[in-house]
């Protein structure tokens, strides 16, 4: 069909009769998708090309990339030999301890908010409030709440008899936990909603069958609900890991520099500081490409596993 | 049996209510502290013994918050509306118009969201600063770096709406075409009204994300006049962290958070419900 069209309409034809119906349609199609494609070209494809290219150069920030000297794999070698890079990566992954903790809590809360009671809709709304709140404001409040001398957390710990509660904001062993607690607290609402949606997608008949067989609540939950929520859990894990790999604002605003004894800075903070503070943009680009590769692999895994689930 | 269920319901209600206190406590603390005098922050419990609004008047006197709010609105409302209109148009083309390379182009577009923002932010900065190749316009002194990337549409939104529009029968679009409707008219009078309810939750969340954005504005906006509220407040807090004026920092945080809370309060039911709906769809 398309070939027939192509044969019939030759250039002089077009001038005589204008475009035919199908071609006009196609032109409209291209016109309507043009803006997003141009946006992608300018804001994603070209910048990423620049990142990849400059990661092989000694590009100093502030000078044109085109004139930067090629240095081969030097930036990558430097990166893998840099203790700070590994520390930042270690911190970034350490923060991800919060992911299983958050998922477990939100699963329980989702089950508690999906029982058909009248109040649960209100609870869903309340637990979602931290999700939509500005990280900037939240970090400043958490700084105060976790203040070692006068913060409410330590007040509470003292009142239950812990005489010497942790120095949350300045002791390298605790600083990461402040960020983890903040992330879990802030993320609960959205995973609760996704879990509830998943639970409502499970057919009633499974539960009825379980009831007939005399299964108790715990058996029903672990043998039916949990396995059938696997796709949601998997989706949440992958998206949280992808988001976690890009962590920047919380540790940046909560602690100064790299944090006490380099305990809080992340890979993105490392990238940012190397590029803008030390103006080693070539090195920063190597970190940027490394980050993109990790996230690319995670996304592929997500697509693969989800694809399998559909079949 | 029924009695047992009622007891379980009450226990769960109490536990969820206690959890709600944990979820809301930081906000409550923030609000009450912002009305305390500096020296009263940690004495006399949660409620202020002396109420004062001096922290608020001080902030309004010191930084141009009105301008900050106008900037934030400029970065979060018009770009999101225009970007949504562009996204609906693209989704319509991907779902209902036949053209060569349609699926390939869609996959390329979808692939682009795999690239994380930190991996492209430095080159974006270079592009916006006018230091690369043919891009000679220095936009760092203007609001454009926070507007341009949004008005070209949102790939996740296009993805979601494309799925959604597949559910609209082709025959409807065909009938409109036979009646002599142009694509623009079909888009404006038929597709857009169908799509608006589906995209509005995405749109509101996108708006909230733009409102709360911090990293991109600190990088791309070098003229303090164009700073959004997030950056203004963060800078203000840096100043006051030194003399530890906690009520002022909290007053800044309250002003940052309250507008979003109001919008969320107005649309909450509907945001939560469409979140659930769209996640089931995906």
| CA nearest to A101, candidates A214, A179, A205 | A179
Model pLDDT for residues A245-254, shown as the tens digit of each residue: 999 999 999 9
CA distances from B76 to A238, A248, B81, B143, B210 (A): 28, 21, 9, 12, 5
Predicted confidence band at A264 (pLDDT cuts at 50, 70, 90)?
Answer: very high
A136 touching B (Cβ < 8 Å):
yes
Q: Give B149's contacts in chain A (Cβ within 8 Å).
A: 39, 43
Predicted confidence band at A14 (pLDDT cuts at 50, 70, 90)?
Answer: very low
Q: What is the pLDDT of residue A1?
A: 42
Q: What is the pLDDT of residue B83?
A: 96
Q: Give A271's contacts in chain B (Cβ within 8 Å).
A: 118, 122
Residue of B nearest to A287 (CA): B119
Question: How close B132 gets to chain A, by Cα (Å)?
Answer: 6
Query: Does residue B50 carry a pLDDT above 90?
Result: no
| CA nearest to B155, candidates B113, B197, B198, B120 | B113
Predicted confidence band at A310 (pLDDT cuts at 50, 70, 90)?
Answer: very low
B123 and A50 in contact (C-beta within 8 Å)? yes
A32 and B93 in contact (C-beta within 8 Å)? yes
Q: Which domains does chain B have, with CATH numbers?
A: 68-281 (1.10.3720.10)
A76 and A286 in contact (C-beta within 8 Å)? yes
Q: What is the pLDDT of residue A308?
A: 58
Cβ within 8 Å, pair B183-A25: yes
Predicted confidence band at A307 (pLDDT cuts at 50, 70, 90)?
Answer: low
Query: Does residue B274 carry a pLDDT above 80?
Result: no
A263 and A175 in contact (C-beta within 8 Å)? yes
Residue of A nearest to B43 (CA): A150
Cβ-nearest to B26 among A28, A135, A141 = A141
Query: Does residue B45 carry a pLDDT above 90?
Result: no
Region A49-70 average pLDDT = 91
Tell me the pLDDT of chain B averaged across its residues. 88
- The string of DSSP codes covering B81-127 is HHHHHHHHHHHHHHHH---TTHHHHHHHHHHHTTS-HHHHHHHHHHH
Of A179-188, A208-217, A256-265, B186-195, the range with the highest mean pLDDT is: A179-188
Q: What is the pLDDT of residue B241?
A: 67
Length of chain B: 282
Q: Give A200's contacts in chain B (Cβ within 8 Å).
A: 276, 280
CA distance B128 to B120: 12
Q: What is the pLDDT of residue A2?
A: 47
Q: Give A139's contacts in chain B (Cβ within 8 Å).
A: none
A vs B: CB pairs below 8 A: 258
CA distances from B183 to B44, B187, B192, B219 (A): 66, 6, 12, 40
Mutate: best of B9, B115, B162, B165, partner A, most A CBs <10 A: B115
Predicted confidence band at A15 (pLDDT cuts at 50, 70, 90)?
Answer: very low
Query: Does residue B280 carry a pLDDT above 90?
Result: no
CA distances from A221 to A108, A111, A188, A231, A240 (A): 10, 9, 20, 16, 24
End-to-end CA distance of chain B: 38
- The string of DSSP codes covering A244-300 is HHT--HHHHHHSSTT-GGG-S--HHHHHHIIIIIS-BHHHHHHHHHHHHHHHHHHHH
Indicate the Cα dihedral angle A227, A233, A234, A236, nearest 10°: 170
Query: From its phi and psi, is residue A161 left (phi > 0), alpha (psi between -120 and 50) or beta?
Result: left
Say which range, A108-117, A300-309, B154-163, B186-195, has the weakest mean pLDDT.
Answer: A300-309
Cβ-nearest to B119 among A37, A291, A299 = A291
Model pLDDT for residues B100-154, shown as the tens digit of each residue: 999 999 999 998 988 999 999 999 999 999 887 777 788 899 999 999 999 999 9
B29 and A145 in contact (C-beta within 8 Å)? yes
| Residue located via tokens 């992608």 | A40
Cβ within 8 Å, pair A127-B114: no
Q: Give A46's contacts in chain B (Cβ within 8 Å).
A: 123, 127
CA distance A294 to A54: 19
Length of chain A: 311
Q: Give A144's contacts in chain B (Cβ within 8 Å).
A: 29, 33, 246, 250
Q: What is the pLDDT of residue B242?
A: 66
């Amino acid at each position: 069909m398309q070939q027939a069209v192509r044969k019939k309409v030759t250039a002089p034809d077009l001038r005589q009769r204008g475009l035919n119906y199908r071609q006009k349609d196609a032109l409209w199609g291209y016109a309507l998708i043009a803006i997003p494609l141009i946006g992608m070209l300018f804001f994603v494809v070209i910048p990423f090309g620049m990142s990849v290219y400059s990661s092989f150069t000694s590009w100093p920030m502030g000078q044109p990339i085109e004139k930067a000297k090629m240095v081969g794999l030097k930036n990558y070698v430097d990166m893998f030999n840099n203790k700070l890079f590994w520390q930042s990566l270690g911190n970034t992954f350490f923060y991800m301890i919060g992911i299983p903790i958050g998922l477990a809590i939100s699963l329980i809360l989702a089950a508690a908010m999906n029982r058909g009671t009248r109040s649960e809709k209100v609870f869903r709304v309340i637990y979602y409030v931290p999700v939509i709140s500005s990280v900037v404001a939240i970090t400043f409040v958490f700084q105060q709440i976790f203040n070692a001398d006068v913060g409410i957390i330590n007040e509470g710990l003292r009142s239950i008899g812990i005489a010497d509660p942790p120095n949350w904001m300045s002791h390298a062993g605790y600083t990461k936990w402040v960020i983890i607690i903040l992330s879990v607290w802030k993320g609960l609402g959205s995973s609760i909603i996704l879990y509830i949606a998943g639970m409502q997608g499970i057919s009633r008949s499974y539960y009825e069958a379980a009831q007939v067989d005399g299964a108790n609540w715990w058996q029903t939950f672990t043998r039916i609900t949990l396995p059938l929520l696997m796709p949601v859990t998997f989706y949440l894990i992958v998206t949280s890991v992808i988001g976690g790999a890009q962590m920047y604002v919380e540790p940046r605003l909560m602690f100064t520099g790299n944090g006490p004894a380099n305990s809080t800075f992340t890979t993105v903070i490392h990238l940012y500081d190397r590029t803008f503070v030390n103006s080693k943009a070539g090195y920063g680009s190597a970190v940027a490409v490394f980050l993109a590769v990790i996230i690319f692999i995670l996304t592929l895994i997500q697509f693969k596993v989800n694809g399998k689930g559909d079949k | 049996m029924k009695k047992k269920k009622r007891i379980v319901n009450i226990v769960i209600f109490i536990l969820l209510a206690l959890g709600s206190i944990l979820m809301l406590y930081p906000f409550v603390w923030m609000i009450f502290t912002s009305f305390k005098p500096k020296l009263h922050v940690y004495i006399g419990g949660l409620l202020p013994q002396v109420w004062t609004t001096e922290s608020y008047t001080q902030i309004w006197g010191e930084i141009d918050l009105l301008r900050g709010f106008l900037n934030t609105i400029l970065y979060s409302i018009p770009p999101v509306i225009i970007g949504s209109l562009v996204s609906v148009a693209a989704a319509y083309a991907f779902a209902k118009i036949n053209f060569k390379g349609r699926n390939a182009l869609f996959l390329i577009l979808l692939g682009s969201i795999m690239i994380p923002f930190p991996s492209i932010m430095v080159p974006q900065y270079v592009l916006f600063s006018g230091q690369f190749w043919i891009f000679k316009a220095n936009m760092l002194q203007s609001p454009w770096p926070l507007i341009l990337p949004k008005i070209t549409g949102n790939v996740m939104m296009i993805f979601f709406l494309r799925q959604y529009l597949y559910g609209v029968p082709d025959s409807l679009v065909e009938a409109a075409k036979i009646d002599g409707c142009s694509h623009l008219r079909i888009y404006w009078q038929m597709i857009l009204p169908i799509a608006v309810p589906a995209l509005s939750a995405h749109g509101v969340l996108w708006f909230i994300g733009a409102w709360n954005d911090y990293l991109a504005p600190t990088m791309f906006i070098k003229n303090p006049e164009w700073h959004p509220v997030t950056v203004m407040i963060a800078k203000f807090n840096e100043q006051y962290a030194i003399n530890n004026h906690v009520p002022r920092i909290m007053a800044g945080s309250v002003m940052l958070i309250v507008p979003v809370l109001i919008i969320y309060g107005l649309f909450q039911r509907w945001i939560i419900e469409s979140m659930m709906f769209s996640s089931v769809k995906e």
